Structure 1
Amino acid sequence: MGKYDETYKRIREAVYSVRLIDTHEHLVQEKERLASKPDLFETILQHYLSSDLVSSGLSMKDLEELRNPNLPLTERWEIFKPFWENVQNTGYAWALKIAFRDLYGIDELTDETYMTLAKAMEERNKPGLYEWVLREKAGIERIILDTSTDTPVEEVDRRFFSPVIRFRDFVIVRSRVELEALEARCGRKIHSLNDLVDSLKAEFRRVYPHVVGVKIGLAYMRTLKFDKVSFREAEEVFNNIYKQEMFDRITIGKTRRTVPAGLSLNECKPLQDFMVHKVIQFASEMDLPIQIHTGLQEGNENIITNSNPTLLVNLFREYKEVKFDIFHGSYPYIGELAALAKNFPNVYVDMCWLHIISPYKAREALSEWLDTVPSNKIFGFGGDYRFIEGVYGHSVIARENIAKVLADKVAEGILTDEQAMKIAEKLLRKNAEELFLKKRV
């Protein structure tokens, strides 16, 4: 064994010994996973791999059929098989193949093994599943959970999760129907912009004991440029919601209703910008960090330039006391994020999702960030999955990537073994622990 191999082995062992703090997941609670029999394709095609399949040519009609558990698995496999062949080279597929192998003993997904995999997933779907996959297999001690699912923050399973919360419905509100829904949720009337702001503040106070941060994921819908807007400009948009004289016919539950039409997202941008600043201000008052989606949007056919992290500079400059956790390494804007995190003390780099977007680029990015950004400002892993198999596979890729990059730094004489091992613990545990969990879990 050569000198580099020995170094890599030591670093890799140190990396695998760290109990992870996972900075970002979308998992449902275990009781929800166990409530019904897991379907192979409905589970693994919730996101990511599904996007690669569509990119390779799968139609949306066929994707919906693949996700339909009422159709025979044999028929769906025949739809899936040729497109699976097209995407096996991607990071999304790699993460799943690792999970199939290590969790269910399936080395390759083929005509002979897909039914065995489906049955193995069904057999494992019993109490203790999350403990086995997340704790025993992935070595995850705690997960920062994005509660964009239907689980209220008060009901999150604290054995595994510490939640962050979105206030999207306060920011993106653009119709009377949406305002009525907010009124019902908040238990108060909202007839003015002041009412909306007061309701947002009350919601912050209500959830504060239960959360460790705030999430902003608006890059899927619009640009991340949140301008400094006056109260008057935002109020004019809010009042226009009530001034609408056009109507829509919509179904709410089983009831058809005639309701005032809403404004467009573009028309509401001043109100959105104003409310995002309010979200940040209230987070600042409560000393809550803010996670922001930047870079690649999951799915197909979005506008990548809307999510360039440099669009957030005005927020970093104005809210110097707020810690901003910038997601996904801002891929493909990796160099831009390096410059931001190097220059702004309140900007942190988060590698959640990045290791499976491109395992190679994640290694290259981490190497660059370790050359440019203080090591206490980099979060090394967040699975960003809706199902636990993906979390496990991603965690393996992340550990391997981090071990390789740190071993290279040692081989180049940039770091000592001891320094590399300390950085590994920072990336995978201590940095996230310090930002999110030091005060409460």
Structure 2
Amino acid sequence: MQKRADTAGHGLAEELASEIATIPCINSHSHICPEAERLANPLDALLFFQHAYPRADLASAGMSPTDMELAFDPEQPLHERWAVFEPYWRWTRTTGYSQCILTGFRDLLGFDELTADTVGPLSQAAREFIAPGFYRQVLRHRAGIEVSVVNMEDLVEVDRELFLPLPRLNRFSMLKSVDQINAIERDYGVAIAELGQLVELIGKVCRDWKHTGVAGVKMSQSYHRRMDFEQRQQEDAAAVFSRLMMGHYPGLNSEEGRVLEDYLVFECCRAASATDLTVQFHQGIRAGNSASMEGCSPVPLAPLMRTFPQVRFDLSHAGFPYLREGAVLAKTFPNVYLNMSWIHIISPFGSRLDLREWLEMVPYNKIIAFGDDLQHVEAVYGHLQMARRNFAEVLAEMIAENRVSESVALDMARAAFHDNPARIYGVEG
């Protein structure tokens, strides 16, 4: 009986996955590099694993920096590179980071496995695969992605048929020294002598970005601190800013730096509110190895969310591994959204568990299904297949348990993959 039920559930999941694949996807969080960069720098099979995420898994498995340097040096013989890569590949090939690359290899390049026998032919196929226009072919036609929201340090132009910019406000809110102010003055053609002028510039930048049609703005404070921003008095922050301008500033991570950063984060959110820009916060696990968990929990953001009820707060990565805390915020705050970017490959199984809870806990107009958080379109494609499969398996479970009908399940998927991010980021069409 159990085997028959499992088989039936698998069949339903396959049917749902096929239906979900027809839903145009809004890719909510990407770092896809420009196509011209890929064309100028073809990748062999091993260089896909030089990306920060699979590289971190290899390091976690014990691969040394010296071995990585050899493995990822395209000038060295491929068989020598494979010899140092393979022992650690054995331990990391099942992680989500590796699986999204393997899925791309399988579906786009025609190779089911990465082995000593396939690494050479696969590398050749990867080089032959790229040609002018291959981004459109992979993203639009093979993956079914309508548009990808691309994170960037400052606003740069992108192909608006495939991408939507999401610039960061980090340089305005995470001040390390007066050199940073000098760079802002140079890049924006302004003079900044006091804090009020910087705040005015933040407002102008947000207005200008809104006019050009950005998806929102991004802040990444959780890479260096807890997200417990306090409302600070303007005069206290101005005094710190004056010391920064005179070169008497102890730095971003000092108590004075915290006062100034707190004030500027509130001002960035105020500017976003005035211009109706979504605010995306990096929230949760930090990239790399041996990273602190200090800024992972989204709970300390609650006062900021309460202060700016008109701002749409996008919890990028949903606060992983504090996904339940993020869900409580999304359940109780009308302006908070759960963004599943990255997490389908951090923990495919964990993502399914939490998605199941969210769909019975949080209004499903608050869930954003997918954001690749990657650079290479082959891996982006693979990541999206994993995300669709996760949704299909969770929704099949809910249908089998008579929690939802198939039509409601597909409405959930359409909302999460397309309608919710389209609304939150202002995607037309």
TM range (shorter): over 0.9
CA contact (8 A) 2:44 2:122 kept: no
What corresponds to 2:228 in structure 1? 225
- The one of 238, 241, 261 aligned to 1:238: 241
Q: CA deviation at 1:205?
A: 2.6
Whichever residue aligns with residue 279 of structure 2, its letter is I
What corresponds to 2:59 in structure 1? 54
SS at match of 1:162: strand
What corresponds to 1:425 in structure 2? 414
- The one of 269, 273, 276 aligned to 1:280: 269
Q: CA deviation at 1:6?
A: 4.8
CA contact (8 A) 1:176 1:262 kept: no
Whichever residue aligns with residue 195 of structure 1, its letter is Q
- The one of 135, 138, 143 aligned to 2:140: 135
What corresponds to 2:259 in structure 1? 270
CA contact (8 A) 2:23 2:417 kept: yes
SS at match of 1:304: coil
CA distance in 2, matches of 1:344, 1:400: 29
TM-score w.r.t. the length of structure 1 is 0.91
CA distance in 2, matches of 1:61, 1:231: 50
CA distance in 2, matches of 1:311, 1:64: 39
Query: Deviations along 1:230-272, whole A, 9 cap, x unmatched?
Result: 1122112211223336xxxxxxxxxxxxxxx862422411111
Query: Deviations along 1:93-144, whole A, 9 cap, x unmatched?
Result: 1111111111111211111111212111111121121112112221111111
CA distance in 1, matches of 2:417, 2:103: 20
Structure 2 alignment gaps of length 5 or more: none
Q: CA deviation at 1:63?
A: 2.8
- The one of 182, 185, 189 aligned to 2:191: 189
Moved more, 279-288 or 190-199: 190-199
CA distance in 2, matches of 1:9, 1:137: 18
CA distance in 1, matches of 2:323, 2:21: 26
CA contact (8 A) 2:296 2:320 kept: no
CA contact (8 A) 1:21 1:143 kept: yes
Q: Does 1:101 align with 2:90?
A: no
Change (3 A) 1:6 1:91: closer
CA distance in 2, matches of 1:70, 1:222: 40
SS at match of 1:303: coil
CA contact (8 A) 2:296 2:321 kept: no
- The one of 44, 48, 72 aligned to 2:49: 44
Q: How does 1:291-440 map to 2 (within 5 A)?
A: 291-438=280-427, 440=428
SS at match of 1:307: coil
Structure 1 segments of 4+ aligned residues over 4 angstroms from their partners:
none
Query: Deviations along 1:122-180, whole A, 9 cap, x unmatched?
Result: 111211211121122211111111123xxx63521111011111011111122122221
Change (3 A) 1:274 1:62: farther
What corresponds to 1:30 in structure 2? 35
CA distance in 1, matches of 2:15, 2:48: 36
Q: Does 1:120 align with 2:122?
A: no
CA distance in 2, matches of 1:377, 1:370: 10
CA distance in 2, matches of 1:423, 1:325: 18
What corresponds to 2:170 in structure 1? 168
What corresponds to 1:88 in structure 2? 93
Q: CA deviation at 1:45?
A: 1.4
CA distance in 2, matches of 1:19, 1:204: 29
CA distance in 2, matches of 1:344, 1:264: 30
CA contact (8 A) 1:38 1:125 kept: no
CA distance in 1, matches of 2:293, 2:313: 20
What corresponds to 2:152 in structure 1? 147
Q: CA deviation at 1:71?
A: 3.4
CA distance in 2, matches of 1:395, 1:264: 37
* CA RMSD of superposed structures (Å): 1.9
- The one of 116, 141, 164 aligned to 1:111: 116
CA distance in 2, matches of 1:44, 1:6: 33
Change (3 A) 1:239 1:67: farther
Change (3 A) 1:8 1:69: closer
SS at match of 2:103: helix
CA contact (8 A) 2:44 2:124 kept: no
Identity across matched positions, percent: 35
CA distance in 1, matches of 2:357, 2:221: 27
CA distance in 2, matches of 1:133, 1:44: 19
CA distance in 2, matches of 1:39, 1:16: 28
Structure 1 alignment gaps of length 5 or more: 246-260
CA distance in 2, matches of 1:264, 1:206: 27
Q: CA deviation at 1:66?
A: 3.3
Q: Does 1:63 align with 2:51?
A: no
Q: CA deviation at 1:319?
A: 0.7
CA distance in 1, matches of 2:320, 2:139: 26
SS at match of 1:155: coil
CA distance in 2, matches of 1:53, 1:163: 31
Query: Deviations along 1:25-73, whole A, 9 cap, x unmatched?
Result: 0011212221233344444312110010111112234334433333333
CA contact (8 A) 2:316 2:340 kept: yes
Count of residue pairs the alignment pairs up:
422
